[in-house]
Chain A
Amino acid sequence: MIQVRNLSKVFRIPHAKKKTLYHNLVSTFTKGYDYEQFYALKDVSFDVKQGEFVGIIGRNGSGKSTLLKILSRIYRPTSGEVVIRESLFPLLELGVGFQPDFSVRDNIYLYGALLGFRRQEMNSKLGEILAFSELERFVDAKLEKLSSGMQMRLGFSIAIQSVAPIMLVDEVLAVGDLAFAEKCRRVFAELREQKCTMLLVSHDLDSVKQYCDRAIILDGGKLIAEGDSRAMVEQYQNTAFG
């Protein structure tokens, strides 16, 4: 279960880049001119029940990814509250920490460690990962020799090894070809059977309709609508094209 109450996140937009000591010293005398406040999220509240699949849709910069980053503790909220009781797995990007110079095998262990697996656990998962990503032949090849689609497939195959009660998924479905998309669908169906809760950020409105029970629309950091995923996708399409 996820409870989000009056969540706001303010970023400061600098009007002059101020990352050096000199600029910091200077700006102490010219206070107030350097930043503009930008609400990436403003007063957002919603609930997600256990076992629900909820889509988050909205235009670029509407706050979707910021929301997921706050839920996964990467960013701190400026105000408001998030309550999450179960453990959570954020899948914000595939292949985080991949080293192009390392072999596929080494990358599997490295990414696995970042996702919280120990070496022994990864030993037993190695075969499954390679089978799922269909990369058995390339296990000792350098990662950089793989096509970008293959790399994403590998990332996805490793990432789905971790199943948490709550999954946060940010725009990672559009990987691989048709056959791989079919595999992903099966993974999602499995997660649903296991009563996982999922928050899915996606621009692929078809998959939001397909996978999600409900959806919320963000616009300019505000939650403007919440309801059945089909209705929400329709509403979003109307506002986008209307």
Chain B
Amino acid sequence: MSAGANRAEAADASRRPGESFARYFNIVRELAIADFRLKYHDSALGYIWSMLNPILMFGIYYFVFTTIFKSTIEGYPLFLLSGIISYTFFQDCTFSAMNSLASKAGIMKKIYFPRAIIIFASSLTCVFSYLINMLLLFVLVLITRGFSPLVLLTPIPAFCLVLFSMGVAFFLATLYSYFRDMGQIWNVLVLVLFWVSPVVFNVEALPEPISSIVYFNPLTRIFVLIRHYFIYNYFDLRFLLMTIVYSTAAFAFGYLVFRRHQDKLPELF
């Protein structure tokens, strides 16, 4: 059996490349807005609900790590809050990628568009929330610690976090299409990863072999960078560049894996 071919694609793509990009971007935006509204419509408190979980987590960890374990980390409330907000984004972004493939299966089977659009849209929905939370955090930083120019660099590691999370999301979504167990497995892994990322503790305080393991996790670098700029007013160019390289590589890897499989997806759901 020779491989099947559908030459419509070639004809279509050569027509107006800019046009089709604009069209696809438009779909991403509309889907993301629709998702965002679906998430919070019809509830009186709307967006506030989505902040309840991180705030509760913050309260518990703050209590445990200041009164029971006597943390000595400088600026611990902001330290903890920035970690929780960023980790929550990572978690939401990866889970919603898998969920949205399943929930958009109906659309996927009826209209052709690059399947990656679905993941871009679900990630964009999470980016909205992350942006709002980070802006709130920014206000908190201004109030409690005052303004320092390095704060303005925070969008760079934040963007690295988005890239890395989307890379993981693309990879997971591909796996999920073939094995639905991936959702359950990821449920467990996300918890493990939480404790292998310096969300509640300081990675510098760990003994050597363990701190290397924790640094191996790209999330660690991103969290550390965000805190450098937000709280500690510290800049290390090499560390920043390496983080950008890692995140971009993770994104490229996940996206390429997804692209290899995206034409098969409609048949898998």
A87 and B34 within 8 A (CB): no
Fill in one digit per residue for B19-55: 1 if any A CB lies within 8 Å of its CB, else 0.
0001100110111001001100110000000000000
Quick check: is A109 within 8 A (CB to CB) of the other chain? yes
The one of A22, A76, A84 in contact with B11, judged by C-beta atoms closer than 8 angstroms, is A84
Is B4 a contact of A114 with CB atoms below 8 Å? no
Q: Which of B39-96 contact A (CB under 8 A)?
A: 41-42
Report yes or no: B110 in contact with A92, Cβ–Cβ below 8 A. yes
Chain B residues whose C-beta falls within 8 Å of the C-beta of A119 in the assembled complex: 26
A24-B179, A101-B38, A102-B37 known; A76 vs B6 contact (CB < 8 Å): yes
A-facing residues in B141-186 (Cβ within 8 Å): 178-182, 185
Name the one of A20, A77, A86, A116 contacting B5, with C-beta atoms under 8 angstroms: A77
From B9, B30, B179, B267, A21 is in contact (CB under 8 Å) with B179
The reply on A79 being an interface residue by CB < 8 A is: yes
Residues on A with C-beta less than 8 A from B29 are 113
Q: Which residues of B contact A113 (CB under 8 A)?
A: 26-27, 29-31
Q: For the complex formed, measure the closest distance between the CB of A172 and the CB atoms of chain B, giving whole angstroms.
A: 11
Q: Residues of B contacting A109 with CB < 8 Å?
A: 30
> Which listed residue, B7, B34, B41, B113, touches A84 by the CB 8 Å rule?
B7
Q: Taking A73-B9, A81-B5 as contacts, is the C-beta distance between A19 and B42 under 8 angstroms?
A: no
B107 touching A81, Cβ below 8 Å: no
Size of interface on A: residues with Cβ below 8 Å to B: 46
Q: When chains A and B are docked, how far (Å) is the Cα of A73 from the Cα of B7? A: 9
Task: List residues of A (108-132) whose CB comes within 8 Å of B's CBs.
Answer: 109-110, 113-119
Q: Among the listed B22, B38, B109, which residue makes an inter-chain contact with A74, where contact means beta carbons less than 8 Å apart?
A: B109
Bitwise interface map of A from 8 to 43 toward B, beta carbon under 8 Å scored 1, else 0? 100100000001111010000000000000000000
Closest beta carbon of chain B to A30's beta carbon, Å: 17
Chain B interface, DSSP helix/strand/loop, else mixed? helix
Question: In whole angstroms, what is the CA distance A79 to B3 when docked?
Answer: 5
Q: Which residue of B has the minimal Cβ distance to A10?
A: B1
A99 at the interface (CB under 8 A from B): yes
A115 and B23 CA atoms in complex are apart in Å by: 9
Question: Which residue from chain A places its CB closest to the CB of B113 in the assembled complex?
Answer: A114
| Also in contact, A79 and B38, with CB within 8 A (given A88-B8, A113-B27, A114-B27) | no
Which interface residue of A22, A79, A88, A116 has the most chain B CB atoms within 10 A? A116
The chain B residues found within 8 Å of chain A, CB to CB, are 1-9, 11-12, 15, 22-23, 26-27, 29-31, 34, 37-38, 41-42, 104, 106-113, 178-182, 185, 263-264, 266-267
Using a CB–CB cutoff of 8 Å, the interface residues on chain A facing chain B are 7-8, 11, 19-22, 24, 69-88, 90, 92-93, 96-97, 99, 101-102, 106, 109-110, 113-119
**Cross-chain pairs A/B with CB under 8 angstroms, 13 sampled:** A20-B180, A21-B181, A70-B6, A76-B264, A77-B4, A78-B4, A82-B7, A82-B8, A84-B7, A87-B11, A93-B110, A96-B107, A97-B106
Known: A96-B111, A114-B30. 5 other contacts (CB 8 A): A72-B112, A84-B6, A90-B112, A93-B110, A97-B107
